[in-house]
Amino acid sequence: MANAIAVLTDFYKSSGEVPKEPWEFLQAPVKLPKDPKTWDSPYTGVADPDKQPSGIITVLENVMADFAKMEAETKSQEEADQKEYDQSMSDNDIEMARRTQEADMKSNESKRRADQVNVLTSQKKDTEAELEKTEKYLSDLQPACVSGDSTYEDRKKARQGEVDALKKAQGILQDAFKEKAKSFLQIRK
């Protein structure tokens, strides 16, 4: 844009359509023949007095100013977007690390619980086997103790008779050793 403005300004200054600055070297306008060989007609300047050559230069200068403003805004927006992106990536890295650690902790917890399930399953099997043995023992005792040939009262009397007989035998044995002990032991003086 700057180059285009410079070319147009030089062109219009050389044609006399744009006034030269006071510090510029003034030359007389070039006198062209009526029909130069390269042109069909001579350059006469702008036909409409409201449309001066400086109008296009002003438009280009405005476009250049707008472009500079847009470029500055775009660079500012890109910097803000880059900062936002960097912050977002940093936040995502932190979140990813947190979730990775959480996943590790949960997998460790899962392994621990699976081990605990295995231990409890083994204990259950052992307990079920013991229960089965106990139930078998109870079923084996069922005919003798519950539905046997004697009643509970009969068994209780028989047991009491056995206890009484054992007590009587114990008394007899104690008395027998008392008499023998006197004659067996000699006392020395």
Tell me, letter by letter, the H, E, C secondary structure of 139-185. HHHHHHHCCCCCCHHHHHHHHHHHHHHHHHHHHHHHHHHHHHHHHHC
Whole-number pLDDT of residue 171: 87
Burial class (CB in 10 A: 0-12, 13-18, 19+), 64: middle
Inside any domain, residue 156: no
Tell me the whole-structure pTM to 2 decimals: 0.37
Residue 51, domain member (yes or no) = yes
Could you give the number of structural domains in the chain?
A: 1
**What pLDDT is stored for residue 163 in this prediction?**
96
Is 168 a member of any domain? Answer: no
| Residue 50 φ then ψ, to 5° | -75, -25
Q: What is the mean pLDDT of residues 156-183?
A: 84
Tell me the C-alpha distance between 42 and 31, whole Å.
10
Tell me the pLDDT band of 92, cut-offs 50, 70 and 90.
Answer: very high
Mean pLDDT of the chain: 81
Tell me what the mean pLDDT of segment 54-77 comes to.
88
